[in-house]
């Protein structure tokens, strides 16, 4: 009887391995996510342990449309509907790291999209407020983020150009769509000592990620940190 139980246990183990190659029954994409962080993010210079931990924890495959789930951990953006995309993993990690997020920070995101960037930020910061112009994307992100148990994220449908005045000031602002200039309402809603990252430039061309800091005296400084291509900032 004992040997029979051992055989059954071994067969069960083999079935689990066959059903979930490269992962576990609970998370079949675990190994792909670990490889993504190692090969696409750490090797490219992102070193903040909090950012790396967040990228390891957030299940990117659950925040992309089902038909793209197998491509979720590839080094590329993916369509999410409404003509929008989820940024490639390295860009998400880079933008998160440069903001120097810490526990207790209040973060504004403009351009919720799939909710992936908000989820990564929420693993580090205290509160994340995110604005999405497309109702369908806002609804889906709200549902998907809630299903992941991320209760420190609030999603609102609206025009992110104007930020979220009622929740300001923010310690950090992250904009995931490109505009021709940095919106003045966002600058006003940035706390003194706060940091902001945004792609600036025209559509269908290489843009620059611009990192902006507001000094404790209110003075602004900014610099270009990375050439990128993002979807354009709509609304306004």
Q: Annotated catalytic sites, by residue? A: 87
* DSSP for 210-230, written as a single string: EEEEE-TTS-EEEEEEEEE--
Q: How far is residue 6 CA from its own chain's centroid? A: 44
218: left (phi over 0), alpha (psi -120 to 50) or beta: left
Half-sphere exposure of 194 (CA within 13 A, CB side): 21
**Could you tell me the domains of the chain?**
29-228 (3.40.50.150)
- Digitized pLDDT (tens) for each residue of the chain, 236 residues in all: 444 443 333 333 433 333 333 444 578 999 999 999 999 999 999 999 999 999 999 999 999 999 999 999 999 999 999 999 999 999 999 999 999 999 999 999 999 999 999 999 999 999 999 999 999 999 999 999 999 999 999 999 999 999 999 999 999 999 999 999 999 999 999 999 999 999 999 877 789 999 999 999 999 999 999 999 899 999 88
Distance CA 207, CA 103 (A): 30
Buried b (16+ CB within 10 A) or exposed e, 30-46: eebbeebbeebbeeeeb
Query: 60 Cβ partners below 8 Å, 6+ apart?
Result: 33, 36, 72, 73, 86, 89, 116
Running DSSP on this structure, what letter comes out for residue 232? B
């Amino acid at each position: 009887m004992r040997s029979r139980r051992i055989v059954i246990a071994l067969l069960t183990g083999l079935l689990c391995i066959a059903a979930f190659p490269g992962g576990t029954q609970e998370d079949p994409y675990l190994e792909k996510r670990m490889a993504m962080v190692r090969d696409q993010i750490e090797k490219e210079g992102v070193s903040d342990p909090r950012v790396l931990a967040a990228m390891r924890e957030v299940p990117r495959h659950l925040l992309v449309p089902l038909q793209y789930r197998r491509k979720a951990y590839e080094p590329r953006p993916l369509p999410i509907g409404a003509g929008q995309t989820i940024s490639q993993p390295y860009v998400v990690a880079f933008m998160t790291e440069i903001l120097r997020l810490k526990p207790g920070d209040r973060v504004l995101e403009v351009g919720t999209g799939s909710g992936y960037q908000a989820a990564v930020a929420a693993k580090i910061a205290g509160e994340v407020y995110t604005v999405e112009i497309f109702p369908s994307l806002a609804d889906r992100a709200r549902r998907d983020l809630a299903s992941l148990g991320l209760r420190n994220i609030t999603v609102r449908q609206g025009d992110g150009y104007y930020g979220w005045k009622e929740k300001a000031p923010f310690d950090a602002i992250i904009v995931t769509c490109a505009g021709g200039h940095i919106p003045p309402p966002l600058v006003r809603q940035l706390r003194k000592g706060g940091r902001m990252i945004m792609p600036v430039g025209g559509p269908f061309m290489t843009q620059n990620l611009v990192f902006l800091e507001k000094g404790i005296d209110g003075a602004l400084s900014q610099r270009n940190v990375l050439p990128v291509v993002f979807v354009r900032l709509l609304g306004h």
